[in-house]
């Protein structure tokens, strides 16, 4: 959802609360629980030491990955907005990050400092399309996610 007037344009950026992230978090959590069940049954049923070590490692790794994904989803990392104010000539970029000192990422600069807008397109199996804004003294700042459509609305 975007908001547009004659002087201000606000583009809302969705964060990590996407269907694919929910699916991957569930898959990792359920997979690690399945490995925990197999490892426990191996421990109780017959003594086969190397299988328990591998299963325990897979369970721990799967639980760490799924907990990372669930934390990213619950904190909604990456959500924010881009605000372009023509009247005052100011661009504001706001994003939510991980917990800590830099939880809120807020960049504000003058429109005259914008040097260029660049689109990076990589085709292939893992295609990627990113819209960058080059700013004097800041470098390139990504504006869109890789899975968004770059056609005008």
pLDDT tens-digit map of 118-150: 888 888 887 778 888 999 888 898 887 655 555
pLDDT at 152: 54
pLDDT at 55: 79
Region 56-84: mean pLDDT is 91
Beta bridge partners, 12, equal 81
Angle, CA 76 vertex, CA 72 and CA 78 arms, to 5°: 95
Per residue in 11-39, is it b (16+ CB within 10 Å) or e — as a string? bebebbeeeebeeebeebbebbeebbeeb
Give the Å distances, CA to CA, from 148 to 48, 61, 128, 133, 152: 49, 30, 9, 16, 11
Residue 69, exposed/middle/buried by CB under 10 A (0-12, 13-18, 19+)?
buried
- Band of residue 1 on the pLDDT scale cut at 50, 70, 90: low
pLDDT in tens, 24-57: 999 999 999 888 887 777 667 765 567 677 778 8
pLDDT in tens, 76-134: 998 999 899 988 999 999 999 898 888 999 999 999 989 998 888 888 887 778 888 99
DSSP 3-state of 59? helix
Beta bridge partners, 104, equal 96
pLDDT at 29: 94
pLDDT at 73: 93
Contact 118, 140 (CB under 8 A): yes
Contact 79, 15 (CB under 8 A): yes
């Amino acid at each position: 959802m975007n908001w547009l007037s004659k002087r201000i344009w606000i583009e809302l950026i969705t964060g990590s609360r996407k269907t694919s992230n929910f699916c991957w978090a569930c898959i990792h959590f359920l997979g690690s629980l399945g490995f925990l069940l197999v490892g426990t049954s191996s421990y109780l049923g017959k003594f086969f030491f190397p299988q328990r070590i591998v299963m325990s490692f897979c369970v721990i790794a799967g639980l760490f990955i799924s907990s990372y994904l669930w934390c990213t989803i619950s904190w909604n990392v990456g959500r924010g907005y881009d605000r372009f104010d023509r009247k005052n000539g100011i661009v504001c970029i706001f994003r939510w990050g991980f917990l800590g000192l830099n939880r809120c990422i807020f960049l504000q600069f003058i429109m005259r400092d914008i040097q260029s807008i660049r689109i990076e397109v990589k085709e292939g199996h893992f295609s990627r399309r990113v819209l960058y804004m080059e700013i004097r003294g800041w470098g390139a700042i990504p504006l869109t996610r890789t899975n968004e459509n770059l056609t005008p609305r």
